């Protein structure tokens, strides 16, 4: 059946992901709440052991019309079929509207930044790069602006190392005492910094590692990048988490340490940042969008629109199917952003994305539940070394995730009186079969208890909010994508020997820098801050809650209260007497629940 564009749009207004009801945003008054294909006040319900025939027929029709189509080039299957097209059109409209609103903001900022080009002095010095943000890009980086300290303290080693525990917490791991050391560094050099040799740091559980060597295997553009791996360590004297050595793995395969000249060492950290930023951005697409999308597709094919589980997933996956098509257009296709700003091609980035999804590093669902992942990498609850003195990502993510879990536990318990009721729900059974069968979800756990189902829903919510926004969205313009310390590529070949006296030749020229900042601004969502598109309002959908039970509505009230309190904590941050915030020489605001959205964006 061919569905006309008008028909699709009409159905889409009613039929896909749940919409917010903006209480404070005049621009959004045209949006309508919806949860299924009808205007309905019928209460959500679970089918129990004896599902009625009409409900079973509804699910059967959805399965016939919402199909798994081919991947778009990145990630797993993409929706197809008549109903799949309805969802795609609705979500593309959502994504396009939000993106167009931000483009109007970022283009205005860009016009002003270009008009003020004289003040950047042709980017002759590192200080000139910081002027790129001096009273510029203010609308795109609202309400926080660039993180305090990120443009002034970037030469500090502590800022560099603590970014591994904040703006990209998914690359670093603690080395186990029985592991072979990935590379050797002279004992005298290590002793002068850490007070003991590398092997002792390993034996004591103080040695950490980031490995970006796989980036050497992907096709390149005309720009330059290394394939760094690096050691970090917990200082035996101060307890600080600090950098120890960076190896380039290209050309002369130089190994840099803080004992090198300040200029050589600064360039080494920038080389590492090129690799780490590429990993963070491409990995996040697999880790968040791809994993959540395929779970959602399986749910649409298995659960009735009357099921509270599908209602929650529709809410969380707002606009989800509009993201990958846009990503291909603006990021991955030939001539798009990755080709223009990175040392690796857009085609290489799609391969990287698909590799990290398929091998489970980003694509495994259960293994990457937040605490499972952090424990496995030795970042929390580690038995073979001292704990991290500060872990900003976990400090901010943990309270949000815990509050989400409390909500989903109440939701599930209010609809299922016991664990047997979970096992008796034929739609949940069908969803599980779909996930592990046609959906080909990697590492999906059993759903045998109320806790199992609550955990699954909570982790989907965590993926599209906390995990996504810690590395993407506002982060690019406020911290992880800021120049000069975070170039996306280098503009001179990787040095074959030490002794450089100026890092500026390796950094992007003025026009390229302004273009990059414009791209990073396009990903920001300042217009969503303080509205009911923020995490505070994750479950605060009037239509959805109107069809839920009273226990769930009260759980939402408690969640919102908790998130508002958490937002006040984040907003009150500044530098302490030691000049640090969360153990860092910059103030990190990415996971303020009143600023970060409750769903993924692009």
Q: Walk me through the domains of the chain, giving residue ranges and CATH numbers.
A: 5-171+258-571 (1.20.245.10)
Q: Using the Cα atoms of residue 136, residue 138, residue 139 and residue 145 in order, give the sign of their dihedral.
A: positive
Contact 334, 341 (CB under 8 A): no
Does pTM top 0.85 for this prediction? yes
Output Rg (C-alpha) for the chain, integer angstroms: 24
pLDDT at 14: 28
Residues (pLDDT < 50) of the chain are 1-38
Q: DSSP for 138-197, please give it.
A: TTTTTTT-SPTTTTTSTTSHHHHHHGGGTT-TTS-EEPPTTSPPSS---HHHHHHHHSS-
> Nearest 5°: phi and psi at 210?
-125, 135
* H-run or E-run covering 241: strand 241-247
Rounded CA-CA distance 309/419 in Å is 16
Contact 401, 566 (CB under 8 A): no
Compute CA 318 distance to the chain's CA centroid, rounded to the nearest angstrom: 16
Rounded CA-CA distance 292/281 in Å is 16
C-alpha dihedral over 340, 343, 349, 351, to 10 degrees? 140
Count Cβ atoms below 10 Å from residue 166 Cβ, excluding itself.
28
CA angle 48, 51, 55 (to 5 degrees): 125
- 463 DSSP 8-state letter: I
Residues 6+ apart with CB under 8 A from 537: 20, 531, 560, 598
pLDDT at 39: 52
Compute CA 26 distance to the chain's CA centroid, rounded to the nearest angstrom: 28
* Residue in the structure block whose two tokens are 């005049």: 26
Contact 301, 63 (CB under 8 A): yes
Contact 423, 448 (CB under 8 A): yes
Omega before residue 484 within 30° of 0, cis: yes
pLDDT at 204: 98
- 47 three-state secondary structure: coil
Q: Which two tokens stand for residue 165?
A: 């525990």
pLDDT at 51: 66
pLDDT one-digit tens code per residue, 319-365? 999 999 999 999 999 999 999 999 999 999 999 999 999 999 999 99
What residues pair up with 224 in beta bridges, in sequence order? 490
C-alpha dihedral over 534, 535, 536, 539, to 10 degrees? 110
Rounded CA-CA distance 539/406 in Å is 12
pLDDT at 48: 74
Q: Which two tokens stand for residue 597?
A: 């959205």
* Residue in the structure block whose two tokens are 């690019």: 476
Rounded CA-CA distance 390/372 in Å is 19
* Residue in the structure block whose two tokens are 């960076």: 246
Distances from the Cα of 455 to the Cαs of 172, 317, 367, 415, 449, in angstroms?
Answer: 25, 17, 13, 15, 10
Q: Which two tokens stand for residue 586?
A: 């910059």
Residues 6+ apart with CB under 8 A from 21: 31, 33, 532, 541, 542, 543
* 393-404 core/surface letters (b: 16 or more CB in 10 A; e: else): bbbbbbbbbebb
CA atoms within 13 A on the CB side of 184: 3
Residues 6+ apart with CB under 8 A from 156: 585
Rounded CA-CA distance 550/548 in Å is 7
Contact 585, 153 (CB under 8 A): yes
Rounded CA-CA distance 132/113 in Å is 8
Q: Which two tokens stand for residue 289?
A: 């969008």
CA angle 92, 361, 169 (to 5 degrees): 85
> Nearest 5°: phi and psi at 478?
-100, -20
Q: Which two tokens stand for residue 594?
A: 């009143």
- 437 three-state secondary structure: coil
For 464-546, list the strands marked E by DSSP.
Answer: none
What residues pair up with 174 in beta bridges, in sequence order? 208
Contact 485, 273 (CB under 8 A): yes
- 35 DSSP 8-state letter: S
* Residue in the structure block whose two tokens are 């569905």: 3
pLDDT at 41: 77
> Nearest 5°: phi and psi at 446?
-65, 155
> Nearest 5°: phi and psi at 481?
-110, 10
What residues pair up with 230 in beta bridges, in sequence order? 210, 246
Rounded CA-CA distance 499/265 in Å is 10
């Amino acid at each position: 059946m061919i569905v006309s564009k008008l028909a699709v749009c009409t159905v889409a207004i009613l039929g896909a992901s749940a919409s917010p009801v903006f209480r404070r945003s005049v621009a959004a008054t045209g949006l309508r709440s919806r949860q299924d294909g009808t205007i309905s006040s019928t209460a959500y319900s679970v089918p129990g052991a004896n599902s009625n025939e009409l409900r079973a027929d509804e699910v059967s029709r959805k399965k016939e019309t919402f199909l798994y189509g081919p991947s778009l080039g990145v990630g797993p299957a993409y929706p197809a079929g008549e109903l799949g097209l309805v969802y795609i059109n609705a979500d593309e409209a959502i994504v396009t509207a939000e993106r167009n609103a931000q483009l109007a903001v970022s283009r205005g900022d860009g016009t002003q930044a270009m008009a003020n080009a004289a003040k950047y002095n042709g980017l002759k010095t590192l200080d000139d790069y910081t002027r790129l943000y001096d009273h510029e890009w203010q609308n795109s980086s609202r309400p926080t602006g660039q993180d305090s300290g990120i443009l002034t303290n970037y030469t500090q080693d502590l800022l560099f190392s603590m970014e591994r525990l904040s703006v990209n917490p998914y690359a670093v791991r603690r080395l186990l005492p029985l592991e072979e050391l990935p590379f050797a560094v002279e004992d005298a050099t290590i002793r002068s910094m850490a007070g003991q040799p590398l092997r002792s740091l390993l034996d004591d559980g103080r040695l950490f590692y980031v490995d970006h060597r796989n980036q050497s295997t992907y096709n390149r553009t005309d720009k330059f990048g290394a394939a760094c791996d690096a050691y970090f360590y917990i200082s035996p004297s101060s307890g600080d988490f600090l950098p120890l050595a960076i190896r380039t793995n290209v050309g002369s395969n130089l190994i840099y340490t803080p004992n090198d000249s300040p200029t050589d060492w600064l360039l080494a950290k920038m080389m590492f940042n090129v690799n780490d930023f590429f990993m963070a951005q491409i990995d996040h697409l697999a880790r968040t969008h791809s994993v959540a999308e395929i779970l959602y597709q399986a749910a649409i094919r298995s659960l009735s629109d009357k099921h509270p589980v599908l209602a929650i997933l529709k809410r969380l996956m707002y606009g989800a199917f509009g993201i990958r098509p846009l990503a291909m257009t603006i990021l991955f296709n030939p001539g798009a952003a990755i080709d223009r700003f990175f040392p690796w091609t857009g085609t290489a980035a799609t391969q990287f994305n698909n590799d990290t999804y398929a091998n489970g590093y980003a694509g495994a669902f259960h293994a990457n539940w937040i605490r499972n992942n952090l424990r496995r990498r030795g970042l929390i609850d580690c038995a073979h070394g001292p704990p991290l003195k500060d872990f900003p990502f976990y400090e901010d993510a943990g309270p949000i995730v815990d509050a989400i879990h409390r909500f989903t536990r109440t939701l599930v318990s209010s609809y299922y009186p016991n664990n047997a009721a979970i096992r008796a729900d034929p739609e949940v059974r069908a969803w599980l079969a779909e996930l592990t069968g046609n959906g080909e979800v990697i590492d999906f756990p059993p759903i045998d208890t109320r806790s199992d189902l609550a955990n699954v829903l909570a982790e989907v919510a965590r993926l599209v909010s906390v995990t996504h926004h810690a590395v993407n969205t506002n982060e690019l313009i406020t911290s992880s994508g800021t120049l000069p310390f975070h170039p996306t590529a280098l503009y001179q070949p990787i040095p074959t020997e030490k002794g450089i006296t100026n890092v500026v030749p390796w950094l992007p020229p003025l026009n390229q820098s302004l273009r990059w900042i414009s791209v990073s601004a396009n990903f920001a969502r300042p217009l969503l801050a303080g509205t009911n598109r923020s995490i505070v309002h994750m479950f605060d959908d009037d239509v959805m809650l109107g069809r839920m039970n009273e226990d769930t509505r009260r759980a939402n009230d408690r969640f919102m209260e908790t998130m508002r309190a958490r937002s006040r904590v984040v907003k009150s941050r500044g530098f302490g007497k030691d000049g640090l915030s969360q153990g860092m020489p910059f103030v990190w605001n990415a996971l303020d629940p009143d600023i970060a959205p409750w769903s993924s964006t692009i």
